[in-house]
Structure 1
Amino acid sequence: MRKNNKKELKKDFKNHMVESLELPKDLVYRAAIVTVMGNRELLLENYKGILEYEKEYIRIQAKSCRILVRGKNLNISYYTNEEMKITGIIQSIEYE
């Protein structure tokens, strides 16, 4: 069996188990959860680290992607190992 086939079977099995047991996907996959309140506040959960931090943009590493928040006067109000709150004028959110 090819390595890619094994990987696909393992992924399919995991997806099937998550669906069957109705487990929360964010917990199982550690997917990033982005909650935006208007254009002034963003709450990000399940991130790995802060890559760049400027007033015009903040680049964050999530498990499966990078998240780029662009805007004006951006500020990280607080962060923990699990979540962070970004305030300022949020103009865009990009997934890289």
Structure 2
Amino acid sequence: MLVIDKDKICIYDYHEVLMMDCHLFKIQMQGYDLIVRGKDLQMSYYDEKEIRLCGYVKVIEYAENGV
């Protein structure tokens, strides 16, 4: 599940963080990969069920796993 707020993005029930830097986060969800592109992205909080991202988000997209 994805929740978008004014200054943060919360991602719940993720499986694995596949890639991360200040311009791109790629996160494996159940059945798809969630890709967040932007500027000055940073992970402000995470645990085994939730990730919070902060920064300037330009694009949020998803791709089916294995495609």
TM-score w.r.t. the length of structure 1 is 0.64
Q: Across the two proteins, how many residue pairs are aligned to each other?
A: 63
Greater relative contact order, per chain length (Cα 8 Å cut-off, separation 6+): 2
Look up the equivalent residue of 1:44 and give its one-letter code: I
Distance 2:37 2:5 in 1: 15
Alpha-carbon RMSD across the aligned residues, in angstroms, is 0.7
Q: Quick check: which one's helix share is greater?
A: 1
Look up the equivalent residue of 1:62 and give its one-letter code: M
Q: Which residue number corresponds to residue 34 of structure 1?
A: 2
Distance 1:92 1:46 in 2: 20
The one of 27, 42, 57 equivalent to 1:75 is 42
Show structure 1 runs of 4+ deviating over 3 A.
Answer: none
Identity across matched positions, percent: 27
Q: Which stretches in structure 2 are left out of the alignment for 5+ residues?
A: none
